[in-house]
Amino acid sequence: MRYHNALITTLAAGLLCILSASVQCHAQESPPGGRVADLQDQLENGLKARLPNEFAFIDVVVQRVEARQLTSGEVKSVFQWARRKNKHTPFPYFQRAMRIIAARKGVDL
C-alpha cells in the first residue's frame, strides 16, 4: 500500500510538470452553460465512478470549474492522464492528481 501511494504521488508530480505548461494556455477558459453538465457526465462515466464518495468528489470538482477556481482544461487533462494510467480504475489517479493541483492553487477539494 505504501508503494502504491508513493507511485501515485510520483506520477501525480510528473503530471503537474506536464500540466504546468498546458494550464497557462487554458487559464482564461470558462465553460459555456451546457458544457459543465457534459463535464460531469464525462467524469462520472470515464472515471468509472461507483461509490457515493467518488460521485461527491466529482461534484465538487465540477463546482470548482463552475466557480472558475479550476479550469475545465486542467480537469480534462488530468482526466485523460488518469484514464491512460489505469483503464479499469482511473478514479484514484484522478482524485490524487486533482487534489495536488487544487492545493497548489489554494482550492479546497
Nearest to 74 by CA among 104, 46, 51, 49: 104
Tens digit of pLDDT for each residue in 49-108? 999 999 999 999 999 999 999 999 999 999 999 999 999 999 999 999 999 999 999 999
What length does the chain have? 109
H or E stretch covering 96: helix 91-104
pTM above 0.85, yes or no: no
Residue 39 sits at the vertex; the CA angle it makes with 30 and 89, to the nearest 5 degrees, is 135
Residue 107 buriedness (CB in 10 A; 0-12 / 13-18 / 19+): middle
CB 47 within 8 A of CB 79: yes
